[in-house]
Structure 1
Amino acid sequence: MSIYFQKTYQRSFGTFPLRGAELTGAMKTAVDVGYRSFDTAQMYGNETDVGAGLAETGVPRDELCVTTKVHPENFGEDRFLPSVEKSLKDLRLDYVDVLLLHWPPIGGALTGPVKLLEKARSIGFARHIGLSNHTAQMMRDAARTIDTPLATNQVEFHPLLNQDKLLAAATETGIPLSSFCSVARGKVFSYPLFTVLAEVYGKSPAQIVLRWILQKGVSINTMSTKPANIQANFDTMNFTLSSVDMARIDAMTATNYRIVGKAAVAWAPEWD
């Protein structure tokens, strides 16, 4: 992977659940503050709007990093590649930079979808491939199934959830993690520690959380429609949390507050 890809992918602008003018407006602001990586999915129902937003930015294609994800309902051999072709048409792109399996297969084996993912890459639909919402064992199984390196496993990752098993699997398999729900949909702000640390570092509580994630070796996906928040979420590279403060935040993961489970998404796996 190029250094440019690695640096760009460290901070992605998430697009769920935005649509229409609200989405394209937020994307324009994101580009203005420096974002070049954008994340969507078939499941979000907004690939057409993301495509319009990308076209309106005027950013050269080779400076963009676009991620989309294949829905499990499209994992069959007859539907997988046609669904990716539709995503590309909606996004107004010849290829995406990162193509992910959005969830594990519903009641099926992982081998088939992972090989179809590799096939999509081999015919030029994607430059990089990976996973989303897969367990540690699934990461190991996927890594053994194909020779192509997997760029990421995008998972729920924030200071209120212990993901040590996934971090260990990332080291073992060479599949980096990337985050969604990076501030636990605002739940982190009810914990005083993040306000205390924000005052110490002269940053916002959200920036403290995002910096913690980055220092764990995990890329971040953030979404906002407020220009000030979009700017703040991007400005996370100019300070470093001390090892002591990292450990204080690490202790918060014992909260084990999970947002995405079977109650929220029926096809969510049994998490580690």
Structure 2
Amino acid sequence: MNIYFQGTNQRTFGTFPLTGGELRDAMTHAAEVGYRSFDTAQMYGNEEETGAALADLGFGRNEICVTTKVHPDNFRPEAFLPSVEESLKKLQLDYVDVLLLHWPPADGDIAPSLKLLEAAHKAGLARNIGVSNYTAQMMRDARNIIETPITTNQVEFHPLLNQDALLDAAVETGIPLSSYCSVARGEVFKHAIFAEIGASYKKSAAQVVLRWILQKGVSINTMSTKRANIEANFDVMDFTLSNIDMARIDTMTQVDFRIVTSDLVPWAPEWD
């Protein structure tokens, strides 16, 4: 079952890098506008605050989808399951809906951490499992390493970066993509094409970008602290970009603007 393509779970509210009152307020706004899918990670240092915010919101457990990610430092056999159990304690949950490996291991050998991830699933700590920041070849290899379905590969995905290799691998492996840095940390707003296209749909540049991602078959993960932006990011299901506008936006991938490189994150692999 692919929860990423069911209703509101196509749109996830990301919590990085929020903490404290800013996180609580943003999650409250997100819930009020309709978000029911929330994303955190051990690396973010806000699982405990995310769990407290979710508890305060008062949703039934089956009403929400919670994703967290295991830090590469915890990929050791003796550390993996205890770290997930600690995450659940912080989140005030008996299980997470989706448990991801946050990065490929530094040595490039993905098999050990994938098998630990599968063990967490079999132990009932996660309903679904997935990966993040995997290359196309890693996706192909992963599908042959474990039997448990891989729900998603969460990657940097926006219209200023060509991710065709990953999209092809998603089709080949049956592992859907989900996005982070969906508006390229604001870089998309430097390009007039998105606002120009948005004007004809009475939508903002950001909404056009997010709609383009969805129409590429990729679920979206967005974060904002401003209620108006949170609402706008959620409000992207009532219009469809034409084939012509999709093609116009496709040309922008030639910009080749990548945010996450090994200069920024030591675990970043050699990208496709």
Alignment TM-score > 0.5, same fold: yes
Q: Which amino acid aligns with 1:165?
A: A
Structure-2 separation of matches of 1:40 and 1:2: 19
Q: Which amino acid aligns with 2:149?
A: P
Q: Which amino acid aligns with 1:220?
A: I
| Deviation (angstroms), 1:2 | 6.5
Structure-2 separation of matches of 1:267 and 1:101: 12
- SS for the counterpart of 2:229 is helix
The equivalent residue for 2:243 is: 243
The equivalent residue for 1:130 is: 130
| Deviation (angstroms), 1:5 | 6.7
Q: TM-score, normalised by structure 2?
A: 0.98
The equivalent residue for 1:182 is: 182
The equivalent residue for 1:221 is: 221
Q: Is the 8 A contact 2:5 2:219 kept in 1?
A: no
Q: Which amino acid aligns with 1:132?
A: S
The equivalent residue for 1:24 is: 24
Structure-2 separation of matches of 1:175 and 1:3: 12
Write the mapping of 1:1-272 to structure 2, written as runs, cut at 5 A: 1=1, 6-272=6-272
| Deviation (angstroms), 1:263 | 1.0
- SS for the counterpart of 2:6 is helix
Structure-1 separation of matches of 2:262 and 2:2: 36
* Cα offsets for 1:79-124 (capped at 9, x unmatched): 0000000000000000000000000011151111101101101111
Structure 1: where are the runs of 5+ without partners?
none
**Identity rate, percent:** 68
Q: Is the 8 A contact 1:5 1:65 kept in 2?
A: no
Distance of aligned partners of 1:172 and 1:231 in 2 relative to their CA distance in 1, 3 Å threshold: same
| Deviation (angstroms), 1:4 | 8.7
| Deviation (angstroms), 1:141 | 0.7
| Deviation (angstroms), 1:194 | 0.6
- SS for the counterpart of 1:78 is helix
| Deviation (angstroms), 1:45 | 0.4
Q: Which amino acid aligns with 2:195?
A: T
Structure-2 separation of matches of 1:2 and 1:168: 18
Q: Which amino acid aligns with 1:116?
A: L
Distance of aligned partners of 1:67 and 1:3 in 2 relative to their CA distance in 1, 3 Å threshold: closer
Q: TM-score, normalised by structure 1?
A: 0.98
Worse overlay, 175-184 or 2-11 = 2-11
Q: Which amino acid aligns with 2:102?
A: H
Structure-2 separation of matches of 1:38 and 1:101: 16
State the number of aligned residues.
272
* Cα offsets for 1:61-96 (capped at 9, x unmatched): 101000000011100101000000000000000000
| Deviation (angstroms), 1:8 | 3.2
Structure-2 separation of matches of 1:129 and 1:55: 23
Q: CA RMSD in A?
A: 1.1
- SS for the counterpart of 1:13 is strand
Structure-1 separation of matches of 2:34 and 2:59: 11
Structure 2: where are the runs of 5+ without partners?
none
Q: Is the 8 A contact 1:8 1:65 kept in 2?
A: no
Q: Which amino acid aligns with 1:18?
A: L
- SS for the counterpart of 2:239 is coil
- SS for the counterpart of 1:182 is coil
Structure-2 separation of matches of 1:61 and 1:186: 33
Provide runs of 4+ in structure 1 moved above 6 Å.
2-5
Structure-2 separation of matches of 1:55 and 1:5: 25
Structure-2 separation of matches of 1:98 and 1:2: 10
